[in-house]
Amino acid sequence: VDYVIKTLKTSKLASQKTLIILSSVMTWVNTPPKLQKEGEEEVEGEGEGEAEEEEEPEEADPEENPEGEEDGEEKPKKPKILFFKETDHHLRVPHERFHKHKNLETLALSAPKTQPMLKVHILCTGIRYGNGEGVFYDHFKNAWMQKPSQLPILSTGKNLIPTIHVRDLSGITKKLVNENIDKSYIFAIDRTKQPTQKRLVQSISAGIGTGQVKHFEPDDISDSIIWKDFLRINLKMKTSDVFKDKEPVEGEEEEEGENSKLKFPWHCEKGIVENALQLNEEFNEARNLKPMKVFITGPPASGKTHFSEVIATNYNIPRVHVKES
């Protein structure tokens, strides 16, 4: 990628070229939260969409009101955490394994300054899911097998994890190729309301598995587990306006079916939380997993019930007796 960027940057291009780089929110993961300063009013548009997001009520922390402290005493108000904007990309601090990704982003963003025939789009993608999974593979697999029956959540699970379905990522990439969009840094994430780790994992467990989850401390999970660092992301971001529906051209009559062409073809607009059952079907299809029904029969006292219970217990599947049906 480094070679491609430098070649495009220094070559004499006869026609307009477009470079699209699929990056990751991991290039932001160590960025300090963006806090609203005291007395500072929120910039217009910066809080757009916040009203749509349902804030999960926080559990009371016993340490916040230690013994001996008077209940009537005023506590300092916590500063409000603001959404990161795409124009804040100069603030990003990457995960230790994603420094190279950030450097490539920076190199690509600087290319049009010396190469006017080159248009660059950096897609800062949320954690990708869908069609077989990636980071969430272990969670989907364990939920499908129901072994273990409880899916893991790290710490309280209140951290925010931006996500995007691979088909929606493909859709926005296609849009950048086909349309003249003048934006270099783009948050490619879905519109999940309050995408906390807890809500994401609970949705996978409820939609595919037993519906049970279990909280673990990060130190209890081996550093070699791929999803560990990804599920500790805590970034307050929102979907780029590049995903917004196009406005109809003034003066042109709207033809039948034209409205649908103006809308972005979302596949999983509301993310994992509201599409777990659909994602289960995709996971099964991608891995050729098919539901199986086992019928055990035999003469009386041959061990049908015993072996049925052994199989049901081993695979954590329901057992139906003929007398119970």
Q: Are residues 282 and 320 in the same domain?
A: no
**Residue 242 located in a structural domain:** yes
Q: Are residues 313 and 233 in the same domain?
A: no
Asked if the model's pLDDT at residue 317 lies above 50, the reply is yes
- Rounded to an integer, the average pLDDT of 72-101 is 90
Whether residue 174 contacts residue 186, with contact meaning beta carbons closer than 8 Å, is answered with no
The range of the structural domain enclosing residue 298 comes to 292-324
Q: Are residues 314 and 210 in the same domain?
A: no
pLDDT digits (tens, 9 = 90+) for 235-278: 999 999 999 987 665 655 555 555 566 789 999 999 999 999 99
Q: What is the pLDDT of residue 48?
A: 43
Q: Is 83 helix (H, G, I), strand (E, B) or coil?
A: coil
**Residue 42 located in a structural domain:** no
Task: Indicate the number of domains in the chain.
Answer: 2
Question: Which of 32, 45, 31, 33 has its CA nearest to residue 80?
Answer: 33
Q: Are residues 300 and 217 in the same domain?
A: no
Whether residue 201 contacts residue 157, with contact meaning beta carbons closer than 8 Å, is answered with yes
pTM above 0.85, yes or no: no
**Residue 209 located in a structural domain:** yes
Cα–Cα–Cα angle for 145, 149, 154, rounded to 5 degrees: 115
Q: Are residues 240 and 303 in the same domain?
A: no
Residue 104 backbone dihedrals phi, psi, to 5 degrees: -70, -40
**Residue 69 located in a structural domain:** no
Asked if the model's pLDDT at residue 122 lies above 70, the reply is yes
pLDDT digits (tens, 9 = 90+) for 125-175: 999 999 877 899 999 999 988 888 899 999 999 999 999 999 999 999 999
Maximal C-alpha separation, the chain: 84
Residues paired with 214 in a beta bridge: 152
Q: How far apart are CA 159 and CA 194, in angstroms?
A: 10
Q: What is the pLDDT of residue 49?
A: 43
Residue 318 binned pLDDT confidence (cut-offs 50, 70, 90): confident
